[in-house]
Amino acid sequence: DVQLQASGGGLVQAGGSLRLSCVVSGFTFDEHHIGWFRQAPGKERKGISCIDNSSGITYIGDSVAGRFTISRDNAKNTVYLQMNSLKPEDTAVYYCAASKAPWRYCRIASRYDYWGQGTQVTVSS
């Protein structure tokens, strides 16, 4: 079975840091790229970062550039999202997802085939 297990969320004060992990199983890790999405209450799910597990190329959205970093450990089938300088507006449920679609679609949620269950990130002011 394909599984993506997201973890690492929690409650943190503004300016703090969290590291999210996405452990994947059930498919060939380096044949996919992994995206991190977030969804705040009443808002659409938005792609914020993605990484191609074969080449290592990454995308970071403008809203988190300079604060968030995506990385991978192919030996552990795990993708990380390091989140620094967190702001209250970063509060959301964060999801990881896997796709074999062309890289240019890495921010598009509808192009992802598999999703994790989400992890809540709450940033207090």
Residue 119, pLDDT > 90, answer: yes
Name beta bridge partners: 14: none
Weakest-pLDDT range from 9-13, 73-77, 84-88, 121-125: 73-77
- 27-45 tens-digit pLDDT: 888 889 999 999 999 999 9
* Per-residue model confidence (pLDDT) at position 14: 98
23 exposure class (CB count in 10 Å sphere: 0-12, 13-18, 19+)? middle
Give me the pLDDT at residue 28, please: 87
pLDDT in tens, 11-23: 999 999 999 999 9
With pLDDT > 70 as the criterion, what percentage of the chain qualifies?
Answer: 100
What are the tokens at 107?
């921010």
Contact indicator for 50, 35 with CB cutoff of 8 Å:
yes
Classify residue 44 by its DSSP letter. -
